[in-house]
Structure 1
């Protein structure tokens, strides 16, 4: 029996996990998983007391164990936590406050427990409202782990264990201007916006011909699993126009990128223009700073048509008094600590420094993103843009060894993915940059030494100029093979 004082050795914890937890529940760093015992702000601590800089935990949005949020949870838990089918002020006051951050058309909340649950409910609402079934999604997209969302997530159904694409699902190429179907090698951003939007229009026409119209277009406002993708300006405006002409609704999935992560706006869909108004917005991970609360935000028309079926909807825990108190405290911290401004300032600094590193290290092909949602696309060759998958994995491993937690994503898992708590500081940023720079230099020097040894074997002599380059760390156009 756990007493709160018992602490298992890491090997025992891992053994028990392997014995009692489903094998498909994967861990970070599978070869040497971390056992984390506590966390604070942007840092996590393992069982040996090692401190890790957390650059990936977008769940703890306002910092691990934020004291203000913890206090709000404790105070409400000590008074009442109950089924959300009872009247309680926390629920309605939080809904009223949350909606002030949205365009006036988005005026109704449904509270649930996770981003997956939010997207599942949104899909159900869209089908009820439109009377249609066909869904348009983007390639590489992931929208949740429940069955209905696996069906519309190419990130899952096109990979091992997936059952492939259903006939009512239409997959549009993601508007990736660096390595997508159309790229900035051949087109301007304006042309790219039109071309990618036209791909959606073609699918709308196909669905209309086949099924009489479209139910829903669903997309993250900036795509995460696809490799930190930022769409070209005007893309969503054109797409929403095409989808609505086909009778469909438009859903902005803000589970990863909402609540000020992009800095300039509260919601990432707003970066595409002030006139961009989805029919449904889904919220998740950051909403409760790790506590399970999420939401579906929609128009009065969609909410009313969903309610008109006569089928009652309720969610036992969604928006319960404790969850609502925590979510409200998260908004307090975002506003009082000016975390949107911090996301803009630190994100801009990091992006600038990543681009400076690009001039030094040939492995960096592209730097993209906004605020604290950034991606560094690693390549073997800048001309061909061949993904540097093994190199990205190596860098991720070496960063962990130096107590920095980062992750790799994208279809080729070659994109270093930065999405930390919004309290990430300038000193945190400098630590990440210094260690990343050193690792890339280390890789280049190692590759230079390999090349130098090969030349020595072939020629019987060491190229003195090449040797000098190695000692000065100037082999910036070479990437190590790992």
Structure 2
């Protein structure tokens, strides 16, 4: 069957809301490590996908899934050793203040649950997010995900603030803090109490702005003074990816009240989580009836344990730090002297090139899309982010090697030159 036939079948049965990457959609059939192959057998270097966090089809993850699936899988209303053991291991990667965890299937579920906990704890409903944030697909989260566009208008209880964009703002931390103060005042003017400030701590959807350590402390403090909580969305940025720490918020020396984590926990399997201060969950558990039928089931927990084992045993957090330095250094060398590259940013194994129009310096989304498609033609998969999709998004599996990095940089240099 041709790709066009499959696309027609797909649209007919799945409808028009789904999107495909690239001008020429990609039909993948298998993967291993940081490599994937299409139906014609062509190999691609994956510099984008963080869901298979330790690499596509890691043998230890696949074996753990198969072994537990062959023994038992059921819902979470029964006792099971895997579930408790995984929760203990996951909490052990976090600061001691975040002493309890609730397991879900997706990052959207984790963020939605975090909002429920925050509302219960504070009595407020207001939420402050960044200007081009994305936090999930539920109705509540779509109303606070500006990146979804006009088709998902923000709720009246939502306010936006700028990400700490050091490329365009002279003092990004101060700008973010001042905007948070104004957002709190704006909510109060409508009689809305803040429940939380919610952001991804590398601000990936906003264009990837890791910032200097502590850059968002003022914004968090403004919301906490008003009675709100700080929710760190680590779905994209955490689990060893920052290099030098397991979670991106740890770079900033500020412990969130709640942390949400997503599918990278399962290395390609649907597993996510929300960790919180125990006092918050004590009240939530007392006042709210909650259960998640399948979140953190025995198979998911076995997979999650295997992912943590691989990160530890293969030194993937340390690899993310070392390979991330190699990647950033290479990107800066490629960008030097090229007028169409405005900035290079990154932290660990997460990096971006911001594509701009010369000499105005304005975001150039169409050229970034052309670059993404050219890389695909060269056998390298990358993504886009930023308010105008002007930033090339590089977020490979944690197993990305020095050799993979060299291949990516060489391909990128060639793509920019053509």
Same fold (TM over 0.5): yes
Higher Cα Rg: structure 1 or 2? Answer: 1
| Structure 1 residues 453-477: Cα deviation after superposition (integer angstroms, max 9, x where no partner) | xxxxxxxxxxxxxxxxxxxxxxxxx
Verify: 1:109 aligned to 2:89, yes or no. Answer: no
Verify: 1:230 aligned to 2:223, yes or no. Answer: no
Match of 1:345 among 322, 328, 334: 322
Provide the C-alpha distance between the structure 1 equivalents of 2:141 and 2:54, rounded to a whole number of angstroms: 28
Match of 1:18 among 7, 11, 21: 11
Superposition map of 1:346-361 within 5 A: 346-361=323-338
How far off is 1:357 after superposition?
1.2
Verify: 1:71 aligned to 2:63, yes or no. Answer: yes
Verify: 1:169 aligned to 2:146, yes or no. Answer: no
Contact 1:207 1:214 in 2 (8 A): yes
Contact 2:330 2:409 in 1 (8 A): yes
Verify: 1:433 aligned to 2:414, yes or no. Answer: no
**Equivalent in the alignment of 2:271:** 293
Provide the C-alpha distance between the structure 1 equivalents of 2:329 and 2:178, rounded to a whole number of angstroms: 33
How far off is 1:226 after superposition?
1.2
TM-score (norm 2): 0.97
Provide the C-alpha distance between the structure 1 equivalents of 2:8 and 2:215, rounded to a whole number of angstroms: 49
Report the secondary structure of 1:386's partner residue.
coil
Q: Which has the higher contact order (CA 8 A, sep 6+)?
A: 2
Report the secondary structure of 2:322's partner residue.
helix
| Structure 1 residues 253-291: Cα deviation after superposition (integer angstroms, max 9, x where no partner) | 000011011111100011112xx1111000002100110
Match of 1:411 among 387, 390, 393: 387
Provide the C-alpha distance between the structure 2 equivalents of 1:195 and 1:168, rounded to a whole number of angstroms: 21
**Equivalent in the alignment of 2:367:** 391
Superposition map of 1:32-71 within 5 A: 32-71=24-63
Match of 2:294 among 293, 317, 342: 317
Contact 2:157 2:192 in 1 (8 A): no
How far off is 1:212 after superposition?
5.8
- CA RMSD in angstroms comes to 1.4
Match of 1:365 among 330, 336, 342: 342
**Equivalent in the alignment of 2:141:** 149
TM-score (norm 1): 0.84
Contact 1:222 1:231 in 2 (8 A): yes
How far off is 1:70 after superposition?
0.3
**Equivalent in the alignment of 1:455:** none
Match of 2:282 among 304, 315, 320: 304
Provide the C-alpha distance between the structure 1 equivalents of 2:55 and 2:213, rounded to a whole number of angstroms: 31
Number of residue-to-residue matches in the alignment: 418
Provide the C-alpha distance between the structure 2 equivalents of 1:15 and 1:213, rounded to a whole number of angstroms: 48
Contact 1:173 1:199 in 2 (8 A): yes
Provide the C-alpha distance between the structure 2 equivalents of 1:237 and 1:399, rounded to a whole number of angstroms: 37
Q: Which moved more, 1:423-432 or 1:9-18?
A: 9-18
Gaps of 5+ in 1: 1-7, 443-482
Report the secondary structure of 2:190's partner residue.
helix
How far off is 1:209 after superposition?
4.4
Report the secondary structure of 2:77's partner residue.
coil
Provide the C-alpha distance between the structure 2 equivalents of 1:349 and 1:290, rounded to a whole number of angstroms: 26
| Structure 1 residues 278-320: Cα deviation after superposition (integer angstroms, max 9, x where no partner) | 11000002100110010010011110111121x3211111110
| Structure 1 residues 69-123: Cα deviation after superposition (integer angstroms, max 9, x where no partner) | 0001111111110111100001111111111111111011111100001101111
Moved over 6 A (4+): none
Provide the C-alpha distance between the structure 2 equivalents of 1:28 and 1:339, rounded to a whole number of angstroms: 28
Contact 1:118 1:284 in 2 (8 A): yes
Superposition map of 1:266-277 within 5 A: 266-273=246-253, 276-277=254-255
How far off is 1:198 after superposition?
1.8
Verify: 1:422 aligned to 2:398, yes or no. Answer: yes
**Equivalent in the alignment of 1:329:** 306
How far off is 1:165 after superposition?
2.8
**Equivalent in the alignment of 1:92:** 84
Provide the C-alpha distance between the structure 1 equivalents of 2:292 and 2:379, rounded to a whole number of angstroms: 40
Report the secondary structure of 1:256's partner residue.
coil
Provide the C-alpha distance between the structure 2 equivalents of 1:152 and 1:215, rounded to a whole number of angstroms: 13
Provide the C-alpha distance between the structure 1 equivalents of 2:289 and 2:154, rounded to a whole number of angstroms: 31
Provide the C-alpha distance between the structure 1 equivalents of 2:384 and 2:296, rounded to a whole number of angstroms: 33
